[in-house]
Structure 1
């Protein structure tokens, strides 16, 4: 009987089969869990919510990264959010009949270098004037009847990050 020195031994084949089975079971569990096991390790994420009520709030979110900023009105609809949990970057867009209560916001001089991250739902051109911040270090503006908020490349003073908590 001729043996091939490059061929795996019976015990090596058994170890490989066991490792493949464990990996496969892990993938099945992640799939059944809705990928929530994998999601926290993906720094850039994007989500859509039909309404404010569908989105997590600080009170009901179990995720350290996903909940609506306090300045987003309760009647917000068609909410798109993109964020990066490893680098500063947050973009939100929504429609609202009531709009943002800008009385609680302050004016921002200039664009501060534009958004720190991109999102396909941002308009091609963002305004350079009439921008505001609502206390969370993000710029807020209404553009063609839709509200937008974004973390700018150049930081602006904030009262804290109310859309990413530390644990």
Structure 2
């Protein structure tokens, strides 16, 4: 190999590397942040849905993480969901004129502490009593006219916490 070909080969390799980096950057920009979020381990992604109709529902979506729990009413709006994909942790908050049908839920007799994870949309002082469990392993309460559900630090006995992706992993 002559001295003249080495710089050409090095420049060609550099150009290929720069072009690959530019192509990957363009792909990430056009595909959105979800691509980046999908490759980050131990993530706690958050999603917002304007209405219940905008959110995925179990059995109707390939999105196994963010589908609406069965107890969320169909008139829910301003829905925020955050979950942890490698350990228990799911929180949801929404507004609803109809509200949650707590008649289908079970009153939690014992106090249950805070959530297994935090979220910016959760009130700072969540109640520990007067909660209900609606069958999916979350404590549910109405606070200042907004409904919240969260995975508690300690599992709620008798609840099926496998209804969400994170529940199936523990």
TM-score (normalised: structure 1)? 0.84
Query: Secondary structure of the equivalent of 1:44?
Result: coil
The equivalences for 1:132-151 within 5 A come to: 132-151=132-151
Q: In structure 2, how many angstroms separate the alpha carbons of the residues matched to 1:9 and 1:121? A: 56
Partner of 2:155: 155
The structure 1 segments of at least 4 consecutive aligned residues displaced by more than 6 Å after TM superposition are none
Taking only aligned residues, the RMSD between alpha carbons, in angstroms, comes to: 2.1
- The offset of 1:110, in angstroms, is 0.7
Q: In structure 2, how many angstroms separate the alpha carbons of the residues matched to 1:35 and 1:127? A: 34
The equivalences for 1:17-166 within 5 A come to: 17-42=15-40, 43-108=43-108, 109-111=110-112, 113-157=113-157, 158-164=159-165
Q: In structure 2, how many angstroms separate the alpha carbons of the residues matched to 1:162 and 1:38? A: 26
Aligned length: 159
- The offset of 1:61, in angstroms, is 2.3
Name whichever of 78-87 and 40-49 sits farther off. 40-49
- The offset of 1:149, in angstroms, is 0.4
Structure 2: stretches of 5+ with no match in the other structure: none
Query: Secondary structure of the equivalent of 1:103?
Result: helix
Structure 1: stretches of 5+ with no match in the other structure: none
Q: In structure 2, how many angstroms separate the alpha carbons of the residues matched to 1:103 and 1:37? A: 40
Query: Secondary structure of the equivalent of 1:49?
Result: strand
